[in-house]
A and B are shown apart, each in its own frame.
Chain A
Amino acid sequence: MVHLTDKEKRMLEGDLGEFRGKAMEFIVRYADVLGAEELVEVSRATLFIGAQRYLDCYDPATDYGKIFSEFYLCSEKALDFARFAEGCKTQTCAGACDFAEYRRSHVSKELIDRNWSYLQATKECGVKIVESCTPYYVGWIPIMGEHFVSTESSNVVISNSVFGAMGNSDGVEAAVCAAITGRTPKWGMHVRSGRRATCLVNVECRLETAFDWDLLGFTIGRLMPKHVVPVVAGDFPKPDIDRLKQFASSIAVTSSTELCHIVGVTPEAHTLEMATDGRKPPYEITVSREDCVESFEMICDKGSGPVDYVSIGCPHLSLDELKGVAESLRGKRIRRGGELLVWTDYATKSMSDLNGYTRTIEDSGACVLTGSCPVVMREDCHRHATGMAINGAKQAFNIKNQTGVPVYFGDIRECLNAALLGKWEKRTWKKS
């Protein structure tokens, strides 16, 4: 059984309110499942809440207090909402939909209104409305050694690996309860010894673009053994945050990775020895160009073909990426009858508006949307598509579980070309 401090015991017994008591009950059960011996204070959280499709088990007319109590707190009794932990800076993760664009994103106005009402309810408890899967672009940055919870798998990898912060990929119920109680099990990535690299990944493929890093993450995830902490080594240019974003998102598609050291890049891996604590890693793999091409063929449908649904921004685009999209689309029009959806978060879109990027992008016939993505919004938003082009291995691979139409996968430039031409051009791999 997990050991609790006096304050945690009081919380569990309901002395700090029933809402917090039920949340602590869940955290204690979760800690016992993991085999954790104690809890740790968390000071940052992002939560995948709102009118998400995983709440489809409820009639939309159901009271949100009942939904919240049953789904997140495992309470049969509908509890009154109460404040989340004061010491934990909490905001929403990827959203159920855009805030307003129901027509252009193909969802109902009812969903947008319901999502907004749910977000208002949790905002009253202290949860800021942000709706981003890339919160580090707009100020949610846990520093080295800071304990966090996040319901976005790529954000967990970025926060552990790039910032040196400490958090597990647990899940929405645990993240909500952690944000309410300010506690999570001290286990896994929250413990220094759990962060030691145990699998050396030798990289022998080209690593220049965000697309290269996207494919590398997907490939490492599917080739390395399970239950390891990888450390990547090789002779490649240092990646920027946009490249690491793609890498972090795709490695968490094909594996349960929460932390990936990169020698000479990430803060706990100045050297290979530092990442492994001077020990020989028990596992070692090599990733070749052929391995990455094989991954590409798993994600992208074969050949060329017509495309009428193009979505870019998985994970959400940075301001720099929006600038690049605007420059690529300046003075051009997307193919009549097709659509180009450009996903970012609300704060970044505001900066894009300010800089004129949104106007330039939308003058092409494209649509800049915030907070969500097609996979999260599910089939309703893309059922009309007859051919898709998607950037982001995570989005392209996972949307295949929701559709039977061809899905093509490429970098942002290839996807923009597909939107302009109404057609996907088969990728030609250069000889390495």
Chain B
Amino acid sequence: MEKIVIRGRGAIPGIAEGAALVCPDSIAGNSGALGDLDGVIHEKSNPCCGRSIRDAILVIPCAKGSNGFSAHFKCAFLKGVRPAGWVSTKVDGRLGVALASLNLPAVVDFEDADPVKVIETGDWVKIDGTTGIVEISKTE
């Protein structure tokens, strides 16, 4: 199995691994886009519509849409539906709040490789939120 290593900045310490869920245009922060209670993406224009964030390594370029972005992830988190960790091309305010609030391992601010382009949904991804190292095992 091909393995790729990319490096960003560790934003929330800790090690996490799981299958990647890649949303190349992010997930809207507006009410109803992410299910508050089920953690399922209901945003109709999202290629990951219908998929759950549960136990996934969420791979997004940034946040977008409403400033309620973090609140919907937090609600799902408190219902027990949570991603394993986060990988984001570049952190922004909306995303930064979600990372700080959920306090799950996260790597952000990649300079040499864009994780949204390198990682595909289903790849097995291990992240180290202290060193910023992201190991990607490509799906066969």
By a beta-carbon cutoff of 8 Å, the part of chain A in contact with chain B is: 26, 29-30, 32-35, 48, 52-58, 70-71, 74, 150-153, 156, 168-175, 187-188, 226-227, 252-256, 258, 298, 375-376, 378-379, 394, 398-402
Contact = CB atoms under 8 A, between A and B. Distances in A.
Contacts of A33: 11-12, 91, 96, 99-100, 106, 108
Interface residues of B, number: 49
B31 A53 contact: yes
Contacts of A74: 100-101, 103
A32 B96 CA distance: 9
A171 B71 contact: yes
Contacts of B101: 26, 74, 171, 173
A174 B36 contact: no
B115 interface: no
B93 A170 contact: yes
B67 A171 contact: yes
B36 A53 contact: yes
Contact of A227 (B62, B65, B67, B76): B62
Contacts of A174: 70, 93, 96-97, 100
A172 B68 contact: yes
B23 interface: no
A256 B106 contact: no
Nearest to A151: B67
A76 B110 CA distance: 33
Contacts of B26: 256
Interface of B: 9, 11-12, 26, 28-33, 36-37, 42-45, 61-72, 74-76, 78-79, 89-94, 96-101, 103, 106, 108-109
Contact of B67 (A29, A71, A150): A150
| Most chain A beta carbons < 10 A, residue from B26, B67, B72 | B67
A150 B93 CA distance: 11
A253 B61 CA distance: 15
A188 B91 CA distance: 10
Contacts of A253: 28, 30, 64-65
A328 B69 CA distance: 37
A171 B31 contact: no
Contacts of B78: 57-58, 70-71
Q: Which 4 A-B pairs have the closest CB atoms?
A: A171-B97, A168-B93, A171-B70, A170-B93
B33 A255 contact: no
Nearest to A26: B100
Nearest to A185: B96
A258 B45 contact: no
26 contacts: A26-B101, A29-B103, A30-B100, A33-B99, A33-B106, A48-B68, A54-B31, A54-B68, A56-B75, A58-B78, A70-B78, A153-B65, A170-B67, A170-B94, A173-B70, A188-B93, A226-B90, A227-B90, A252-B66, A256-B63, A375-B30, A378-B32, A398-B30, A398-B31, A401-B44, A402-B32
A171 B109 contact: no
Nearest to A28: B100
A54 B78 CA distance: 10
B70 A57 contact: no
Contacts of A258: 93
Contact of A226 (B11, B12, B62, B94): B62
Given A57-B75, A401-B42, A30 B97 contact: yes
A255 B28 CA distance: 9
B65 A173 contact: no
B81 to A, nearest CB: 10
Contact of A54 (B62, B71, B103): B71
A310 B75 CA distance: 30
Contacts of A187: 93
A172 B67 contact: yes
Among B37, B90, B101, max chain A CB count under 10 A is at: B101
B71 A173 contact: yes
Given A54-B31, A226-B61, A227-B62, 4 more contacts: A172-B67, A173-B71, A254-B64, A398-B28
A381 B5 CA distance: 48
A426 to B, nearest CB: 21
